[in-house]
Chain A
């Protein structure tokens, strides 16, 4: 736009100046023509004076010749009147015209009169006197014209010089300006591309947290798409990293559990045998019994490890989620965390969607997931509280969700991402495997699980299952 305006302004200025210079040159040409006319006027005047002088000599001119000379004189004066003049110049030309008319009369008298010598000499002198006055006037006008011509020439030359300087300036500055403006334009035009290229390089170098900022206009949409893609990549990357971590941990735990499981079985059997030996005192029997319980606990832990490492393949079947929830709830309520010995009572609220369809899922694994979440919720509310179970069918999304909410103290936002990681726990006696196993079980059935924090008023675990047909069920 700026370049266009500069171009238009320069063009307008150049055209205006060319017109001005041309007008000045026209004026100069006109003044030169005027000068030539005045010079010719002088020549014609001198010629008529010569006609006068040659009168009564053998070289006397004919009447026609004299008339022709005077007519040329008159025509030249008339040419002067054809141009536009100021009132002052017009007055001078009028005066000149009057003098020419008087001169014509005087000439006519000289050439036609026959009288005594004195009278003829008087007439001739009169004609000469008039012609001399006209010559003086024409010379005077010529001087004025010459002065004006000189000043006009100077002005025209100044205009031309200024024009030349301007053109040279334009000649030098225009390409430089055009280059600078082009570079600026190019930079402005390519900057978004450079930003995008830089962002892509950042992604390629592994910086998935890099985001594009500061683009405008239509590039905002490109930047948003890029940022969305980067977020998606980060999520996938995290997920892959998590899966890889899980696989490694699973293999590690599986191997370890397998190696520990048999010796532990031997230890446990030995302790049970010893505890039945009559030679062992009662005091020692208690010790052995407690040791055997610890071994059982270790076996349970190992079983969890093995579940986590090599979860059993889901046995998918048409599953009524509400039935699974009801049976799980009944089971959970017999757990000590729901027991009457607690200080605070746990209230369970069920908001079940009547339209909830059955889905393809493994009822046993789902029961394991629900039981884990319910026991976690109860554990989070040592002083009692409410567990709200909500199911909902979202027909538009073609999925169903199960929300289990507690009214505990909630989870810090910084821990939300870590809560599904294996061995991460906020409990004093937790293994840190419950939620990670639940997540794995849900995901291998094609579902998903996430946590919502209610700002110190508990959390919600939301499980979502798509409505797969049997053939669409993802292979775990």
Chain B
């Protein structure tokens, strides 16, 4: 009897160790844990660090719970520490989808052919945003000439507002910002950029207008002490896109659920708390302004190095 028990326990131990080992190997080689072409009952969706990563997670978490309950699929959001990580994680960690920023989507669509589905429409009716170059009003910086030798804070190389705009701006003035500026760095979130310029940790910053408005509503100093020098064209708000080989029916179900979310009481309350009015259908054509803006800036999406220096 003890031998049988010992053998059973050893068998369990071997099975457990072999299971752990296989998972580690898969992760080490960036392999997908399952066959992604098959329908699954759980989804991992990435979130870009648009604002404080903890607040960002808190804002999106109710959406995951709503969709999980609605669709019977376990949906989990995963926060990413960099915009560019989304593209990496689709490959390395097997993300099924993500809420992409406009430039991130353009890059991901170009590199891994993700399919955009929906994006939020805000209570004032807009579903786009634009990038802003901001300075303190008392900084004396008004033109590109005034920026020489200053400190510039970007968000991330994979953001439209936080990098593509200033990149295009300097490009239009035939300026290499690496040498023109005293210092440039990536704050990681739009919120950090606003606060760094406000707190004089940087002289100039590039951000998206929606985050600026959001923060300005909470902190009066932002509108009183900061000003915009330049803006980008309007581009689509952060949108949900899925990997190209995800079960089309599941994609369709999620799209339908989100598009109708504002029609039921629970969904309407959640979407209101999220800060939006509803989700609207979104296609790749909505990103034409982004593609055009990147081209104008001389960026080739397929070969663009989105990793921050």
Residues of chain A touching chain B, judged by Cβ–Cβ distance below 8 Å, are: 63-64, 66-67, 70-71, 74, 104-105, 107-109, 111-116, 119
Contact = CB atoms under 8 A, between A and B. Distances in A.
A104 B79 CA distance: 14
B264 interface: no
Contact of A113 (B55, B78, B186): B186
Contact of A108 (B52, B156, B201): B52
B109 interface: no
Given A108-B189, A114-B82, 15 more contacts: A63-B78, A63-B80, A70-B54, A107-B54, A108-B49, A108-B192, A109-B189, A111-B188, A112-B187, A112-B188, A113-B186, A113-B187, A114-B188, A114-B308, A119-B201
B57 interface: yes
Interface in B57-96: 57-58, 78-82
Contact of B188 (A66, A70, A104, A109): A109
Interface string B262-297: 000000000000000000000000000000000000
A111 B79 CA distance: 11
A112 B80 CA distance: 9
Contacts of A108: 49, 52-54, 188-189, 191-192
Contacts of A115: 185-187
Given A63-B78, A63-B80, A109 B192 contact: yes
B54 A104 contact: yes
* B81, B191, B192 — most chain A CB neighbours (10 Å): B81
A74 B53 CA distance: 14
Contacts of B185: 113-116, 119
Q: How large is the interface on B (under 10, 10 to 19, 20 to 34, 35 or more residues)?
A: 20 to 34
Contact of A71 (B54, B183, B187): B54
Contact of B187 (A67, A74, A109): A109
Contacts of A107: 54
Contact of B49 (A71, A104, A112, A119): A112
5 contacts: A66-B53, A112-B81, A112-B187, A112-B192, A115-B187
B163 to A, nearest CB: 11
A66 B189 CA distance: 16
B79 A63 contact: yes
Contacts of B201: 119
Contacts of B138: none
A108 B186 CA distance: 13
A345 B201 CA distance: 156
B309 interface: yes
Contacts of A119: 185, 201
A104 B52 contact: yes
Interface string B175-208: 0000000010111110110010000010000000
Contact of B79 (A67, A113, A116): A67
A255 B78 CA distance: 145
Contacts of B186: 113-115
Contacts of B78: 63-64
Q: Which of B54, B79, B192 has the most CB of A within 10 A?
A: B54
B55 to A, nearest CB: 8
Contacts of B189: 108-109, 112
Contacts of B52: 104-105, 108
Nearest to A111: B81
A109 to B, nearest CB: 5
Given A104-B52, A105-B52, A112 B82 contact: yes
Contacts of B82: 112, 114
